[in-house]
Structures are given as structure tokens and as C-alpha cells.
Amino acid sequence: MGDLNVEAVERYRNNFLKEVEERVEEGHWVKMCMQCGVCSGSCPFGPHWAHPPQELFMMIRAGRREEVLTSDSMWMCTSCYNCVVRCPRQLPITQIMHGLATYAHRLGLAPKNQPTRKFSVLFWNNCTRTGRVNELKLTLGLYFSDGFIAGIKKAWALRHIGLGLLLAKRLNPFELIKGHGCKDKKGIHAMLKKAYEIENRRKGFSS
């Protein structure tokens, strides 16, 4: 991860906007932002962002690479698309936030203990392992991501929620042993491996 970052710094020296345009999903839209602030004002998690989207866009253009990529702001996106439908210039802001988060994660710069970053990685690994989400393993994985003791404490504190779902037959304890899954796991894995390969090539990660 560290090497990827060094390589990126070398390649895009002093031109963070270009780096974002080439490597971040929908990054080419960043320069279209007119700084009206509707996105930031519309965001349900707005008060929790150190740098709301409007500010991130300005910081990208100002070349504040380190500050943007190490920020935990874009991880606050709940994917509610309020910013997207309200943006007067129709920027795909949600996708850009996800894109920035993904890029920072790939470079190893995203904050290690940001809980939504952890959950996002956990979710992706969970659903691609068998092709479908194993809700029980996903939840327990999140609870235990800070260690065994912390996990037990969290699971205990939220036990009545699990029990409620169990009684409503919306949680299956047997998912721990055998969960839902696709038949063609091999095909899915091969397909995803290829997809990463192609994307790395397209975004210049492999060179």
C-alpha cells in the first residue's frame, strides 16, 4: 500500500486534481463544482463531516492531497443521494465520495480505525466470499473487529436486538456454520479477479 502511495506522489507531483480525475470514480467531475454548498447543507450527516463535500472539492483543487486522503469525512456518506439530486450542476457527489474513500483506502492512507471503513471492507469480503451476504457473520465480524473482549461486550449489550430478530425468524444462527451462497463461487471469484486486474491497468496502478 505504501509503495502505491509513493508511486502516486511521484507520478502526479503537484497535480492532485489530475490524480483525482484519473484515478477516482467520477473524479473528472470535481472541477465542475461551483462551491454553492447545497451538498454540504443537504447532507444528513453534515454536522459530523470535518470537511463536507464542497470543502473536499475545493481542497482537491488546492492540491491538499494529504489532508483529503487521510480525512475521515468521506466515510460519513450514508449513500442517501440527497446531494446528488440537489446539486445544481448534477455532480455525482455520492459516487465521488465513495471514490475518494476507496482510493484513500487503496493507497493505505485512509484512517485505519474509521469504523465505516472497517465495515465497508468487511461487507465486501463477506458478500464476495460466497456471492451472498451472511448477515450473522457480518454483524459478528463488526462487533469483534476491535478484539475479542470488546466483541463480547458489544454482543452482550445488543443481545436483545439479536433475540428480537431471532424470535421474528429474521436471523438464522446456523448461518455461522453454513450460510446462503451462490453455486458458481469459482466463476464469481475469477470474474472479480479479472475486474481488479483490468481496473488496475486502466487507472495505472500496475505500471
Q: Is 125 in the site for other proteins (CB under 8 A)?
A: yes
| Cα(112)–Cα(127) distance, integer angstroms | 21
Least separation in angstroms between CB 33 and other proteins: 17
Query: CA 74 → CA 69, 143, 155, distances in Å?
Result: 9, 22, 28
Q: Is 160 in the site for other proteins (CB under 8 A)?
A: yes
The alpha carbon torsion through 123, 85, 27, 97 (nearest 10 deg) reads -40
Which positions from 17 through 56 interact with other proteins, judged by CB under 8 A? 25, 44-45, 48
Residues 6+ apart with CB under 8 A from 3: none
Q: Is 62 in the site for other proteins (CB under 8 A)?
A: no
| Cα(126)–Cα(9) distance, integer angstroms | 32
Least separation in angstroms between CB 146 and other proteins: 12
Footprint on this chain of other proteins (rule: CB under 8 A): 25, 44-45, 48, 76, 78-82, 84-86, 94, 98-99, 101-102, 105-106, 110, 115-121, 123-125, 127-128, 131-133, 135, 139, 142, 158, 160-161, 164-165, 167-172, 180, 182-184, 187-188, 190-196, 198-199, 202
